[in-house]
Structure formats: C-alpha cells, structure tokens
Chains A and B, each alone.
Chain A
C-alpha cells in the first residue's frame, strides 16, 4: 500500500484486497446499535453525573445533532469508498482517492470506527498500545489490527491537514 498527496487529494494506491476490505468496512464499523458500551462512548455524558437535568436536556437537544454530524461524515466516507466497489472477488490492487475537502469526514468516521471497535472488544490500554502484535490469529486480533490500521490512516490525514 502506498499513500501520498496528489492533485488536491489523498491517494491510497496499491491497496491489496485485504486492506481494501478493511476500508470498505469503515461505515459498518461506526454502527454502535445494540452495543451499549459503544453507544455510551460515542455519546458520553457532558457532566460527571451530578446534574441530571442538564443530562436530560443534552440527550434531548445535543445528542440528535451529534448523531446527524457523525452520520453525515460516515455517508461522505461511504460515498468515497464506492471507488473500491466491484473488485471484491478480484485480487487486483486498487486505488482510492480521498478529496482534501473530505479529510474531516474521514477523520470523524475513522475515529467513530476505532472507538466502536475498541468498545465492542473492550480492549485494554496495553493492547491498544501494542502496535506490533502479530500474527492475526483471532477475530480479536483482527479487530485490533483494524483499530491500528485506521489510526495509521488518521495520522496520515492529520499530517496532510497540517501541511
């Protein structure tokens, strides 16, 4: 896999089918439905728990807005990922172009996905800091790899935004 900036876009080329599939899974991974821990992480409390009235108002007015915000980012990413459709069964490498103006949406969607995966798997801090864990031998290992891979993409996008 090669990643670089080209003509106002972030270009991820030489994407092998495995990594392309991980990218395709980003929108699905942001879904926290049915996983209370993930839901709690995405929509955390705005107070330390003593102000019940504030929390009720937050849930009524702010949370729906946050949901819309997250959903909009995910939809943008899903639309970009359509470039990868059609080669699910092919072993050919593919290229994905992320327009620079979509960088924020990607940062948000990648973050949502990482937080949801981490909450679903209840990863410990030491697991999350173990970037050299290999090989992928279980679903849990794969999920950890996914969190790290998405984190790597986030880092790259952040560097591009800074430059």
Chain B
C-alpha cells in the first residue's frame, strides 16, 4: 500500500513527448506511473531541504489517504465503437497489433463491436489508456477513453 497526499493527483497532462504515433508499438507503454514520479520528486525535495538545513519540524498538515496505485487510477476504459466502413479483418489486425491480443481474442472483441456497437478493449491506468486510444485513432478506429462506472 502506498501512502500519498490526495492533492497530488487528478491532473491530466498530455505531454507532446508521448504523442509520437509514428512509432506504434504492440504492447503497453512501460513508463513509470505518476505515483513513482511524485514520490521521487518528494524524496528529492526532502533530501535537498535536509542538506540545506531548511527542513522545519512543523510541517504543514496535509490530508492523507491510503490507496494502492491501481486502486487510485484503475477505472479507465478503452472503448472501440462500431463503424460500418472499417473492415472486420482490419479491425481484428489492429486489435492484435495495438494490444498484442491473440487472434481469437481480437476477433471476439471485433465481433462484439460489430454486434453490440462497442467493446471495452482494455481497462486500467489513465495514461496507458490514453496511449491506446491515440494508437487506435492512428489506425482510424473510433475509440474513446471512458471512466468506468
């Protein structure tokens, strides 16, 4: 379990650095999560303050909450919507490439899109979900990022 300040989150930043669609990969991006980055910054600041002798004993009170990283940012879904123009075989290929799904699983999702109008392809942290949506748009599929619930 990670102990984190609740003020640290819910800030969505789309950085140009991860918008490079020309290098499409088959798997999820392996970036560090925002929690790890925040913890690193907090640790750097603490060490820096200690060295400079500026760490005060009376620290400001911050509301804290105990949550796991997954628990915090889990409910984001990558949804693909039906589109009468895109070929079924093309959609299957895209699912295989973007998510690395085996053919059977990719076909199952494709058929779900075809019959039900939409299919949830992936769910998890927001940042990789955004990247998946970008990749799917690069393949011209109708994909959206939705919060579960």
Cα distance A121–B93 when bound, in Å? 27
Contact assessment for A118 and B19 in the assembled complex, using a CB-CB cutoff below 8 Å: no
Q: Which of B12, B20, B89, B144 is A158 in contact with, Cβ under 8 Å? A: B89
Q: Which residue of B lies closest to A63 (CB)?
A: B137
Render A106-129 as a binary contact track against B, CB cut-off 8 A, 1 for contact: 011001101100100001010011
Chain A CB within 8 A of B146 CB: yes
Cα distance A155–B89 when bound, in Å? 7
Tally chain A residues at the interface, Cβ within 8 Å: 38
> Which chain A residues (109-163) contact chain B, with CB distance < 8 Å?
111-112, 114-115, 118, 123, 125, 128-129, 147, 151, 154-155, 158-159, 161-162
> Which chain B residues (92-149) contact chain A, with CB distance < 8 Å?
93, 130, 133-134, 137-140, 142-146
Cα distance A122–B130 when bound, in Å? 29
Contact assessment for B16 and A112 in the assembled complex, using a CB-CB cutoff below 8 Å: no
Tally chain B residues at the interface, Cβ within 8 Å: 28
Contact assessment for A108 and B140 in the assembled complex, using a CB-CB cutoff below 8 Å: yes
Q: Which of A54, A61, A66, A128 is B84 in contact with, Cβ under 8 Å? A: A128
Contact assessment for A128 and B85 in the assembled complex, using a CB-CB cutoff below 8 Å: yes
Task: Determine the chain A residues whose CB is within 8 A of the CB of B21 once the complex forms.
Answer: 62, 65-66, 69
> Which chain A residues (25-64) contact chain B, with CB distance < 8 Å?
42-48, 53-54, 57-58, 60-62
Chain A interface SS verdict (over half): helix
Q: Which of A72, A118, A158 is B22 in contact with, Cβ under 8 Å? A: A72
Contact assessment for A111 and B145 in the assembled complex, using a CB-CB cutoff below 8 Å: no
Task: Determine the chain B residues whose CB is within 8 A of the CB of A57 once the complex forms.
Answer: 12-14
**A/B interface sample: 25 pairs, CB < 8 A:** A46-B130, A46-B143, A47-B145, A48-B144, A53-B12, A57-B13, A57-B14, A58-B14, A61-B15, A61-B16, A62-B14, A62-B134, A65-B134, A66-B134, A66-B137, A108-B139, A111-B85, A111-B139, A115-B85, A115-B86, A123-B84, A128-B85, A129-B84, A158-B90, A158-B93
